[in-house]
Structure formats: structure tokens, C-alpha cells
Amino acid sequence: MLDINGYFVPSTDASALVFYPLTPCRIADTRNANGPLGGPSLAGNGTRTFPILSSSCGIPITTQTYSLNFAAVPHGPLGYLTAWPTGQSQPLVASLSALTGTVTANAVIVPSGTNDSVDVFSTNPTDLVIDVDGYFAPATSGGLSLYTLAPCRVLDSRNPAGTPPLSAIKNINVMGSGCGVPATAEAYVFNATVVPAGPLGFITMWPKGLPQPTVATLNAVDAAITSNLAIVPTVSGAISVLPSNPTYLVLDLFGYFAP
């Protein structure tokens, strides 16, 4: 199944939005105490509204689309989650599925709706964690455009043979990877794949040189090989990665955001 949530146009297009990266930041976690961005959990066949701008993540009111990472913590098998702009009709799409009932993450780009909120429908009871890595808004100072690349492998931590899995912070020099990324890049677009040595609670990716944020890029609690799209800002041409448990990591790059 292929669902679409947008497209990119040349910067000369008057309707074009530009991307503003954020240091990854946690917006909501329904496992926390009840509140607009906390509990309760999502009910089966129910819809919940999340007021994204109520978070402390520094997202401005000019935002028209959010770049998010969803992580479902299901109470059992989860058919799917659907996210869409508050005030619009629920679309026939899926933002994330977790039929095995394991913790599952997926990148979600969703427009802002009424009161700058998004709605989320769940087929089954689940908790939901929402992180943000940037937003799209009209062009002003600091806005970035997307530049695509032929997909290129930045890292395969399984090499050379016999290398132990990652178990501590690893700094990755993306600009020096040979993938043709210019020094002007301020955020990278990856496909991140983990090959866990056992259950993996989460892996976190953030700009090298900044404090580690309380976010997760993906989860593999079931120890399965797992992938997710990851938009990761950078301030130095490098990023940092930390797994909660030992794992191998494969990072493929297929684009970047730059002025």
C-alpha cells in the first residue's frame, strides 16, 4: 500500500514551503500523566486531538506541516494509526501499523489543522509517543530546501567483519562519508536500519555537539531488523547515535536540506 502526504516543488513556486530543522524534541507521550500532550492512552476505534504547538519544542505558529516521528506502544495487536489535520475528514490511510503488538516507530509528515493540531485515530488500544525533528513553513531567514542524492551508504557498522555491535555513543562524519554531501547541509535524510544483537529499546540520533535529546528514532524491542526514515539536523557535518542496547546500524542517505 502506498499513501502520499505531500510533494516537493521548486523554490520558485509561490506555494512552496521551506523546511526548518529542530533538535529532535518530544512533543507528546500518552504514558505520562493525563493532559493535552500526555495520557490517557488512545482507545480502540477512537480519535484523539494533539495540540502540537502546546509543546515546549519551539515550533512557531507559522508552521503549516510537521515532520514527526510516531512510536506506538500497543496494548496488543495494533491494526494501524492514522494521522491527519484537525478539522478535516479522516482519510483512508495508515501512518503506522503494529500487528505483532511490538513497539513500532514510523516517520510521519502531517499538515497542521484547526488550532494547529493533528488528529490521530487508532484501531486498537495503544500508547503513542510523538517526537518532532522540524517543520515546514513559508520562506523566511533560516529556511532550507530539499536536495536529493542517489542513495548512498554512509555507515554499515557490521564492517569490517568481527566488529562488535554499537553499545555507546558513536559520532558519524556524514560530510566525510564520500556520499557527496556539501558543507552547507543542515539536516540529513536517512533510511536507518538496525540489526539488533537482542531486544533493542530504542536508538536516538541527534546533531553532534549538542546535548542528547529525550527522543527515539526507532525501536526494535522484538529484536527484529527494523528500518525507519530519519531526518537528523547537523551543526558540524556529523551526527551522534546512541542505542539503548547493543545493535548494528546501517545508515543510507538519499537527501539533505540546505539553504
Residues of the chain with CATH 2.60.120: 18-137, 145-258
Q: What is the CATH number of domain 18-137?
A: 2.60.120
Mean pLDDT of 37-43: 98
pLDDT for the residue 11: 85
Question: With respect to CATH, is domain 145-258 assigned 3.40.1350?
Answer: no
Is a pLDDT exceeding 90 seen at residue 108? yes
Considering the chain, what is the average pLDDT of its residues? 97
Distances (CA, A) of 154 to 49, 144, 173: 38, 22, 9
pLDDT of residue 248: 98
Query: How much of the chain, in percent, has pLDDT values that exceed 90?
Result: 98
Residues 178-198 have pLDDT tens digits of 999 999 999 999 999 999 999
DSSP helix/strand/coil, 123: coil
pTM of the model: 0.96
Select from 82, 139, 129 the least CA-distant residue to 110: 82
The answer, yes or no, to whether residue 239 has pLDDT greater than 90, is yes
Distance CA 125, CA 122 (A): 7
pLDDT value of residue 47: 98
